Structure 1
Amino acid sequence: MDIVLIAGMWLDGSAWDDVVPELERLGHRPQALTLPGQGDGNTAATYDDQVAAILSAVDATDGPAFVVGHSAACALAWVAADARPEKVARVALVGGMPNGDGETYFGFFAPVDGVVPFPGWEPFEGPDSDDMSAELKASVAAGAIAVPAAVTQGTIHLTDERRYGVPVTMVCPEYSPAQAKEWMESGDIPELAKSTSVDFVDIDSGHWPMFTQPAALAALIDEAARS
């Protein structure tokens, strides 16, 4: 199956380097995206540029596409389902949830001099990063990419309710499937509450399983692709 992989904030397509060969071994055609402004050197990139790049990747697939978003990019994966509900066969949300229409894409950290730099590991202490060695943290931080504010401050636009018919797999890393279900049922994830098919799967990792559990993550993506 064609699988489009979108890493979260501060990461480029190389974040999936250990996942891609596992997916290929399982018979899939993965494509790890490097988004505009997030690894391509385009400091003037906007949120709309990132959405356009994702839709271009989806449109270029031979058959139905499985779109996998990580962290903040779960919102982008959901936007792809909204824009291409007839083309996106499934969405996987790894460690994140979809934003609602009209919401800011990524408002958790304020821009500094026109970009949102990686804030260091302090905000992610605890379950998010407990499974990462000091060496791995240093490596990820060294490669982190400051994301243009025109990306992070972009506005989510959702227009096609057919997105609610696109099956969703929630991959739960630093939180449990039970917690994710509770958030959805309590109305904290309104977009998913309207979805007709949501599966919850656990992975024993922190917030960045592509680094700490790449084979296990690939296996879960493979299982979801075949369901």
Structure 2
Amino acid sequence: MADVVLVAGAWLGSWAWDEVVPGLRAVGHQTVPLTLSGLAERQGVPAGQQTHVQEIVGEIERRDLRDVVLVGHSYSGIPVGQAATRLGDRLARVVYVDAEVPVDGLSFASGWWQGRAAFESVLADNGGDWPPPDAAEFDGQGLTDEQTARLVKGATPHPGATLTEPAVLARPLGELPTTYVKCLLDGPEPNDTVAALLTSEHWRLVRMATGHWPMFSQPAELARLLADEIG
């Protein structure tokens, strides 16, 4: 059985996986949902990009986890991907859930659709943090009103330095056994960076007919998908 380390995206903590964890534990996997510095119950703890990478690696090493399946959602694909390149034979598989992936020397902000300067302006206008979305921004993502309300209530501002510091890869991502989960309501195809990585023999693509937050919109289905990918 695998040790499944779960890292949610921007604004979220370990609580985001509460409805996914039972399905994984029911089939015998150990689950380790993480809250990264600056988020949820750890709000206010200073954090940069490498802080998050080291927290993921450090928790895996502290617990002496083996056969690790490292799951990153949305933003957290960037620190998860970096951490995966540093785990050596502890790593069994990486799973990106509708996630960004790290590019050596670039940051989350580097790929912002309006340009890095526009994103940094948002951070500057919000005390250096990325403010959580309001309820309207979750429209069209397959969420019920109750699920949206839970997301909005639990979300906390995201520390800006984690989004502007560059990624550092210890080895190419294409060498790692990887599953990319594309959530179709958030766009039918992966971005160009992911598409290029999917040409690797070590990567595979699976799709979910839901939006960007499947741990809320389809938690049981996501748990089953993860269990299937673990094998």
Q: TM-score range by the shorter chain?
A: 0.7 to 0.9
Q: Identity of aligned pairs, percent? A: 30
- In the other structure, the counterpart of 2:82 is 79
TM-score (norm 2): 0.85
More helix by share: 2
1:2 aligns with 2:16: no
Distance 1:211 1:190, change over 3 A: closer
Q: Answer whether contact 1:172 1:201 (CA < 8 A) is retained.
A: yes
Q: CA RMSD in A?
A: 2.2
- In the other structure, the counterpart of 2:220 is 215
- In the other structure, the counterpart of 1:24 is 25
Which structure 2 residue ranges, 5 or more long, are not aligned?
Answer: 113-118
Instruction: Read off the aligned partner of 1:136 and give its amino acid letter.
Output: Q
Report the CA distance between 1:89 and its aligned residue: 1.2
- In the other structure, the counterpart of 1:147 is 158
SS of 1:23's equivalent in the other structure is: helix
SS of 1:189's equivalent in the other structure is: helix
Instruction: Read off the aligned partner of 1:85 and give its amino acid letter.
Output: G
Counterpart CA distance in 1 for 2:43 and 2:186 is 36
Report the CA distance between 1:42 and its aligned residue: 3.1
Q: Answer whether contact 2:133 2:152 (CA < 8 A) is retained.
A: no
Counterpart CA distance in 1 for 2:5 and 2:131 is 25
5 Å-filtered alignment, 1:1-227, equals 1-39=2-40, 40-59=42-61, 60-106=63-109, 108=112, 109=119, 110-111=122-123, 112-126=126-140, 129=141, 131-161=142-172, 163-174=173-184, 179-180=189-190, 183=191, 187-189=192-194, 192-193=197-198, 195-226=200-231
Report the CA distance between 1:193 and its aligned residue: 4.7
Counterpart CA distance in 2 for 1:190 and 1:178 is 12
Residue correspondences, number:
217
SS of 2:165's equivalent in the other structure is: coil
Counterpart CA distance in 2 for 1:191 and 1:37 is 32
Q: Answer whether contact 2:184 2:207 (CA < 8 A) is retained.
A: no
Q: Answer whether contact 1:99 1:191 (CA < 8 A) is retained.
A: no
Residues 100-141 of structure 1: CA deviation (Å, up to 9, x unaligned): 101113464431212111132444543xx2x11223212211
Report the CA distance between 1:48 and its aligned residue: 1.8
